[in-house]
């Protein structure tokens, strides 16, 4: 069975500083991994996804994530935070194991605060 753990429910950075949001996964099959962003009272928007191609994945708004199999991690980074990055971020793994339905299994989410 797949699962996702996001370390740190709240992360605070200064504008212009590095953003690092941590995600570790557990999967019995090669995982498909996703990062979504949710702005207040809105739905989820896909930032990027890993589907067994290049291990460094570039997404929208300057975000990227690196798949590290040895560490079972898929951390999200952005070199320089912008005020508009303040939101909640969800890491997810796609269930394509035993049930094979593609449903997403989400982490608990990390709220990113950006200070001026």
Q: Which of 28, 43, 84, 116 binds other proteins (CB under 8 A)?
A: 43
Q: How far is the CB of 80 from other proteins (least distance, A)?
A: 26
51: three-class secondary structure by DSSP: coil
Site for other proteins in 47-76 (CB under 8 A): 49, 51
User: Which residue among 42, 55, 61, 80 contacts other proteins (CB under 8 A)?
Assistant: 42
CA dihedral 54, 56, 58, 64 (to 10 degrees): 160
Q: Comparing C-alpha atoms, which of 31, 106, 109, 111 is closest to residue 68? A: 31
Q: Which is nearer to other proteins, 32 or 73 (CB)?
A: 32
In whole angstroms, the minimum distance from the beta carbon of 71 to other proteins comes to 22
User: Alpha-carbon distance 42 to 27, whole Å?
Assistant: 29
């Amino acid at each position: 069975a797949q699962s996702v753990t996001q370390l740190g429910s709240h992360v605070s950075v200064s504008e212009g500083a590095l953003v690092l949001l941590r995600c570790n996964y557990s999967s019995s099959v090669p995982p498909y991994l996703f990062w979504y962003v949710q702005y207040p009272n809105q739905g989820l928007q896909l930032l990027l996804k890993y589907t067994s191609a290049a291990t460094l994945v570039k997404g929208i708004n300057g975000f990227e994530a690196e798949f590290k199999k040895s560490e079972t991690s898929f951390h999200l980074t952005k070199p320089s935070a912008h005020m508009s990055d303040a939101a909640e971020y969800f890491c997810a793994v796609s269930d394509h194991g035993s049930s094979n339905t593609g449903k997403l299994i989400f982490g608990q989410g990390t709220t990113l605060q950006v200070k001026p």
